[in-house]
Structure 1
Amino acid sequence: MYTNDQKIHAIEIVKKCKGIINKAWRLLGYPDSRDTLKLWYKNFQEDNNKITKTPRYSDKEIDKAVSYYLECKNIQKTIDDLGYPDSRMTLWRWIKSQDINISNKRGRVSSLDEETKSSIILEYLNSDKTMLKFSLEKGIATSTLKGWLDAYNLKKEEVSMPKEESNNVDETVIPPRSDQEEIDELKKEIAKLKAEKIEANRKTKEAEAELKLAKAKLAETQLEYDILEKAAELLKKVNGINIKTLKNKEKAIVINALRSKYKLAKLLKSLEMAKSSYEYQVKALNHDKYQELRPIIRQIFNDSYQAYGSERIYGELKNQGITVSEKVIRRLMKEENIHPFIPRMKKYSSYQGEISPKVPDLYKHDFKADEPYKKLVTDITEFSLRDGKVYLSPIIDLYDGCPINWKIGYSPNKELTSSMLIELHNIIPSDVKPIIHSDRGCHYRIPDWINLMEEYGYTRSMSRKGCSPDNAACEGFFGIMKREFFHNHDWSNATREEFIKELDKYLTWFKIKRIKERLGYLSPTEYRSRASL
């Protein structure tokens, strides 16, 4: 397929290229593969300057393989049936060596004449088969068939060209160039490739720089968005968020919220805040200026049977000389999880029908008194315990809401109310004749109660039937007492005797120490003592 001179020339080019097969092969344009050139160079002997090959197959085997191929027209089938040669390229070279016909400067050969190729091309064009299917049937490589088809189309175009133009086509074979010319051309190509590589690297660096800048701008935009979003979430400003108008304290709050996502330096730069200012604000935020106040609030709450809300704790602190707003107390109580219990109560009823003449309501919802012992209210309430019920009958002075006297028992009988009224008569001044208001319960309509009221010169007043608001002052006292004392504590293990002791203790505390906002945050006893002065 290739002459000995061509092989020697190829080996010389490989030597000049310092043994680099790829460069020499691109410069030469032949043989068909790099592996063939590599094999030539390997078998070259410098002593006689020629190629020495050790043939693996005899001429008889080569002729047999070529003849078999001409019969089946399929290279792979020939190799499979004969069992040799070891590659399709080897058989292809044997076939081409049978009829050498140089068709171009690279020395490519063809074993088929032009008429045969044309007939195959026409047969393919007239069929409806794909190129791959047609190539397999004919035993021709798809690339070969495509090359024939391109040459056929080119030939048709040349035939259709004007005569004058076709005469200008140069059909001469280009003579081989000298080694120096090829080396010079190779150097030019290498220089061109280097220049192209430098230009490509420059464009790549520019693109990378632009991409880096775009990523930085995107990250900056995302940071600004996160700052605005977090500021709106934490600061809750009504008129919107402006980073430039934020105070240092607000900036420090936003930075602390975003520290897990962004570096501190980026956050400080974006918020235009000095690191020293940030560290100062962090110390200020971590410092609790109400640290000493918190245990005082809890102590007041516990001492009040866990009944005081923020308003009464505010009043108690004011009495102790501690000035702080009620709003701050409410916030601290929320942070410390301090809150009084607010239950739903079930009212005790002692109504048994109209068992005595009707008594009018003298208060008409006017539960205010301008002096002590002038207007009093009374009623009975119950407490359910594990070993029974306990009943309380207090009498309340509307002057300051003070429980003047009370009785506690196991049964809501007449002795409970009568004994309470007798003790009241012994407590209040003898010249005082109060109005005592009650509901329409049977305890206040029996002869014992009526006779005592007439004997002491007291005036009776009663609510309307089934109208608890008519006795709202006493009902309100029961509500406060049960919320603060009863429902706010666990009495499941207490006996009635233990409960009565604690209830009596609470009523004493209510009378002497429990402060009221209406009284200027004074207890009823303190209020009376100051009023008497």
Structure 2
Amino acid sequence: MTGKVKRAQYTLEFKMEAVRLVKTGQSLAAVSATLGVVQQTLHNWVKADREGKLAGAGAKPVSPEQMELARLRAEVARLKMERDILKKAGSVLCEGVDVKCAFIDRNRHHWPVSVLCEALEISPSGYHQRQQRSGDDKPHRCRISNDALLAHIKAIHVQVKGEYGWPRMWKELVARGVRVGKERVRKLMAQHGIRARHKRKYIATTNSNHNLPVAPNLLERNFTATAPNQVWTSDITYCATAEGWVYLAVIIDLFSRQVVGWSMQPHMKAELVTDALRMAWFRRRPAAGVIIHSDRGSQYCSGLFQDTLKAYGMRSSMSRRGDCWDNAPTESLWGSLKVARLHGRHFATRRAAMDEIVDWLGFYNSRRLHSTLDYVSPMTFEKNWFAAQQGRAA
């Protein structure tokens, strides 16, 4: 050990995620502030993506001091956005919630919704609930027919690609304003053969036969967290393609079960899990002290991963040997992913498999109803928590 802190790099996955956000219609300024990336760097990534050269763009190393500078720049950019929003909002500030929500609708592609809500003093969760109810302000009072209900169920079944069983289907129907009993949903799905896809057994990817140092189990199966960025978990899984294996590593925030970082590679080297960790750090920028729980695989015990943890001020925690239940939340994620998108699929290329996985991760974070979170999505759960914290502070 030389005593020097390893210098991190923006991973390819991180750059691709930033470019994807720009492609969805968000402005460079909005994405720059959200991810804490210098706007010119983000512009370079978008340009490189258009030219097919993204893999080599913007991979300049950044030190921990530069990371902190980027965080401060992001905060300054956010404050500037709020100032610009308040200038444009004008008399809207004196109007009611409906007018403010309409202003957010008109400007959501120019500024992030979270910043718009904060500037206009609107709860993000309240805004999204109003948006879901738009066009259907009056709840259905009459009993929906079986034919109409079946049409709703079939539409949702297609949208979630057969992932929901009757409990989640019922919750999804209620969230969409369809007033119906859960027993009726269960019977109708059974009658028409609509069911969730079933799980299969998969081989393990953990290789704990090594002589590397092993961290203690700091969780002891306590998978609860009282706030974001307290405890993260990580694991590796795989997907077969005609070109060979694709390996996926994720970082999950136990508080909201949100996937905050991920990496996909054709190998299971230490870089796979380290890149996932770097993406999570760049996206969340947590304070020091975060616990990272994993299995005892050689990737997590490697010097590269452990040195990166130390550089970020994080603490390592590891499951007992051969005990998958010590990392149950991540194992549950793998089951959901494989049932939803990978079961019975034959991918001609690694790229095709990676696109499918990334699409599901986006769906999982933003829309998939999570039973541990009282059937709301991870992102919604976290937004509701932040809104409640702001309400208590007010």
TM tier, shorter chain? 0.5 to 0.7
- Asked if 1 retains the 8 angstrom alpha-carbon contact of 2:288 and 2:313, the reply is no
Query: What's the counterpart of residue 227 of structure 2?
Result: 371
User: 2:214: which partner in 1?
Assistant: 358
1:392 equivalent to 2:248? Answer: yes
> Structure 2: which 5+ residue stretches go unaligned?
1-143, 388-394
The answer (yes or no) to whether the contact 1:383–1:390 under 8 Å persists in 2 is yes
Report the equivalent of 1:494: 348
Aligned-partner residue type, residue 223 of structure 2: F
Question: Match of 2:357, as an amino acid?
Answer: L
CA distance in 2, matches of 1:432, 1:342: 40
CA shift, 1:413, in A, is 1.3
Q: Which has the higher contact order (CA 8 A, sep 6+)?
A: 2
Distance 1:436 1:365 in 2: 13
Aligned pairs (5 A) from 1:325-474: 325-474=181-330
1:314–1:326 contact (8 Å) kept in structure 2:
yes
Inter-partner Cα distance in structure 2 for 1:421 and 1:460:
12
1:393–1:417 contact (8 Å) kept in structure 2: yes
Deviations 1:497-528 (A, max 9, x none): 11111111111111111112332321111111
Q: CA deviation at 1:484?
A: 1.5
Per-residue deviation, 1:380: 0.4
Partner Cα distance (2:383, 2:208) in 1: 41
Query: Among residues 282, 307, 316, which one is paired with 2:163 in the alignment?
Result: 307
Amino acid at match of 1:330: R
Q: Secondary structure at the match of 1:380?
A: strand
SS at match of 2:210: coil
TM-score by length of 2: 0.60
Deviates more, 1:310-319 or 1:349-358: 349-358
Tell me, yes or no, if the aligned pair for 2:233 and 2:252 is still in contact at 8 Å. yes
Is the CA contact (8 Å cut-off) linking 1:436 and 1:461 kept in structure 2? Answer: yes
Q: Which residue of structure 2 lines up, in the alignment, with residue 479 of structure 1?
A: 335
SS of alignment partner, residue 316 of structure 1? helix
Report what 1:522 is aligned to.
376
1:42-441 residue pairs with structure 2 within 5 A? 289-441=145-297
Aligned equivalents of 1:493, 1:532: Cα separation in 2? 39
SS at match of 1:291: helix
Out of 504, 510, 527, the position equivalent to 2:358 is: 504
Letter aligned with residue 457 of structure 1 = G
Q: Deviations over 1:200-256 (max 9, x none)?
A: xxxxxxxxxxxxxxxxxxxxxxxxxxxxxxxxxxxxxxxxxxxxxxxxxxxxxxxxx
Decide whether aligned partners of structure 1 residues 457 and 298 sit closer, same or farther in structure 2, where only a CA change above 3 A counts.
same
- Cα distance between partner residues in 2 of 1:418 and 1:509: 24
Distance 2:363 2:248 in 1: 16
SS in 2 for 1:379: strand
Consecutive unaligned residues of structure 1, counting only runs of 5 or more, are 1-287
CA drift at 1:343? 2.8
Provide TM-score, normalisation by structure 1.
0.44
In our comparison, the structure showing a higher alpha carbon Rg is 1
Measure, in 2, the Cα distance between the counterparts of 1:464 and 1:518. 24
Offset of residue 430 of structure 1: 4.1
1:385–1:491 CA contact under 8 A, matched in 2? no
Structure 2 residue matching 1:292: 3-state secondary structure: helix
Q: Distance in 1 between matches of 2:207 and 2:377?
A: 33
Contact 2:260 2:279 in 1 (8 A): no
What CA distance in whole angstroms lies between the structure 1 residues aligned with 2:346 and 2:319?
A: 35
Equivalent AA in structure 2 for residue 303 of structure 1 = Q
Helix, strand or coil for the counterpart of 1:393? strand
Q: Which residue of 1 aligns with 2:367?
A: 513
Contact 1:319/1:521, CA 8 A, preserved across alignment: no
Partners of 2:329 and 2:203 lie apart in 1 by: 14
Q: CA deviation at 1:493?
A: 5.1
| RMSD (Å), alpha carbons | 1.7
The amino acid that maps onto 2:375 is Y
Residues 358/498 of structure 1: CA separation in 2 closer, same or farther (3 Å cut): closer
Letter in 1 for 2:229: Y
What is the rounded CA distance, in whole Å, between the counterparts of 2:208 and 2:177 in structure 1?
52
Q: Distance in 1 between matches of 2:182 and 2:231?
A: 33
DSSP 3-state at the match of 1:389: strand
Deviations 1:300-323 (A, max 9, x none): 111112101111111111111112
Question: Which whole-Å CA distance do the structure 1 matches of 2:233 and 2:325 have between them?
Answer: 13
The one-letter code sitting in structure 1 at the alignment partner of 2:242 is R
* Residue aligned with 1:373, SS: coil
- Cα distance in 2 for residues equivalent to 1:384 and 1:492: 8
1:432 CA displacement: 4.8
Q: Residue 116 of structure 1 aligns with which residue?
A: none
Whole-Å separation in 1 of the counterparts to 2:251 and 2:167: 26
